[in-house]
Amino acid sequence: MLAIRRFALAALALALLGLQLTTAAPIPGVKAGGDDGDKWLLDEAEMIMVFNFKQMFDSKLMKSGYTEKMREAMMNNPQAKEMADKLGLDLTKDIDSIIISGGKQKDTPKGRFVLKGNFDIEKLSKAMKSSDKVKASKEGSIEVFEVEMQGANGYGAFAGKNAFILTESKETTVALAKSAPEKASTLNKDVKAALATFTGKESMAMVMVVTDELKGMAAMNKQVEAAVKSLSTLTASITVEDGITLKLVGNTTDAKSAASLEKQLTGLKAIAEIGLGMAEMVPPVAKEVFESLKIDKTRDSVIVTLPITKDQIEKAAKLAPGG
């Protein structure tokens, strides 16, 4: 009896540990930002965008020569080379991810930008201080960079050696730089549900809440208004593997709205195909890519997928100047 009781207690302990590990795992949509990606988000964010540079440059497509082509293009551009040398950054190696989130808190716009990677902090700090749009100051042991951005100010600081944070508030930035968030941010159920639809292997993942404000802006165009009025969230992704896959998902409020939206988009696709077919100036590869566009539907979502193969990318590259 004692052995059975001990076994039961051990099993319970393992189950609780497994539950803790499961709940601690980041939501797939922000996994690209690292295991702590969901901790860096703004609470109640209405827009989230994550760029996974590490995944992209590790992909089969980029390793087939495109990473080197990008690096050569940067080195052959005097301004890009000067900037890379000044910052001490190799975009193809040193940047892991970017996490951007924004929304309104008590009707006040808020935003958060988190850059993660392998940084030469001394070089980056020196480069920022050399700009006339940046003012550096000290808040205790934290160096804060005040940046002019389109008529507003942002405040940036390094959080350790592998993260740089930028927010609209000096106090928020300093607090995050001193102590990284310990728990996942608070998100509304629609955003959480949308983030959970990603795989975590995307090169770019985005979620946007379709707010009443956005719906009001869409009212200026009747076709757009009809498509947008039933949406709760929009998600978009770019996945780089042996080719590139673009995906756009409109999550609606009910099945009837999803069916209506699918019908609208299918009709627009048919009209666009006719127009492209008649346009002599449009290269064949563009028509080929558009023909592969797919529109599907689940119960309450409409999914638009556009796969682009390596062969199509190479055909398009030959059409570019110097290609």
Print burial letters for 259-272: b (CB count within 10 Å at least 16), e (below 16): ebbbeebeeebeee
What pLDDT is attached to residue 312?
93
Q: What percent of the chain has pLDDT over 90?
A: 39
Query: Is there a domain that residue 15 lies in?
Result: no
Query: Is there a domain that residue 18 lies in?
Result: no
Average pLDDT rounded to a whole number, residues 283-310: 93
Query: Is there a domain that residue 14 lies in?
Result: no
Q: How far is the C-alpha of 153 from the C-alpha of 147, rounded, in Å?
A: 6
Query: Is there a domain that residue 74 lies in?
Result: yes
Tell me, yes or no, whether 43 and 160 share the same domain: yes
Q: How far is the C-alpha of 163 from the C-alpha of 179, rounded, in Å?
A: 12
Query: Is there a domain that residue 285 lies in?
Result: yes
Q: Which of 185, 219, 253 is where one domain is finished?
A: 185
| Helical residues (DSSP H) of the chain, grouped into ranges | 2-24, 53-57, 60-61, 67-75, 78-87, 121-129, 170-178, 189-195, 212-218, 222-228, 255-278, 284-291, 310-319
What is the C-alpha R_g of the chain? Answer: 23
What pLDDT is attached to residue 223?
63
Degrees (nearest 5) of the Cα angle 25, 29, 35? 35
Range of the domain at 45: 28-85+94-185
Tell me, yes or no, whether 137 and 237 share the same domain: no
pLDDT digits (tens, 9 = 90+) for 247-273: 999 999 888 888 888 988 898 889 988
What pLDDT is attached to residue 20?
41
Contacts with 184 (C-beta within 8 Å, 6 or more apart), sequence order: 26, 27, 38, 39, 41
pLDDT digits (tens, 9 = 90+) for 131-184: 888 899 999 999 999 988 777 789 999 998 889 999 999 999 999 999 888 888
Which range, of 3-7, 111-115, 224-228, 293-297, averages the lowest pLDDT?
3-7
Query: Is there a domain that residue 19 lies in?
Result: no
Average pLDDT rounded to a whole number, residues 235-251: 94
For residue 164, what are its two tokens?
């740089």
Query: Is there a domain that residue 9 lies in?
Result: no
Tell me, yes or no, whether 69 and 119 share the same domain: yes
Tell me, yes or no, whether 109 and 235 share the same domain: no
Tell me, yes or no, whether 118 and 218 share the same domain: no
For the entire predicted model, the pTM comes to 0.83
304 against 23, higher pLDDT:
304
Print burial letters for 87-107: b (CB count within 10 Å at least 16), e (below 16): bebebbeebbbbbbbbbeeee
pLDDT digits (tens, 9 = 90+) for 9-35: 444 444 444 434 334 455 777 877 777
Tell me, yes or no, whether 242 and 318 share the same domain: yes
Tell me, yes or no, whether 36 and 137 share the same domain: yes
Q: How far is the C-alpha of 17 from the C-alpha of 88, rounded, in Å?
A: 42
What pLDDT is attached to residue 3?
43
Tell me, yes or no, whether 171 and 297 share the same domain: no
Tell me, yes or no, whether 175 and 265 share the same domain: no
Q: Which of 151, 185, 219 is where one domain is finished?
A: 185
185 against 227, higher pLDDT:
185
Tell me, yes or no, whether 280 and 159 share the same domain: no
What pLDDT is attached to residue 218?
67
Out of 47-61, 89-103, 178-192, 250-264, the most confident range is: 47-61
What pLDDT is attached to residue 63?
92
pLDDT band at residue 73 under the 50/70/90 scheme: confident
Tell me, yes or no, whether 179 and 310 share the same domain: no
Average pLDDT of the chain is 84
Tell me, yes or no, whether 34 and 165 share the same domain: yes
Q: What percent of the chain has pLDDT over 70?
A: 88
Give the C-alpha distances (Å, rounded to integers) separating 135 from 112, 130, 144, 198, 277.
19, 9, 8, 39, 54
Q: Which of 185, 202, 227 is where one domain is finished?
A: 185
Query: Is there a domain that residue 205 lies in?
Result: no
Domains held by the chain: number: 2
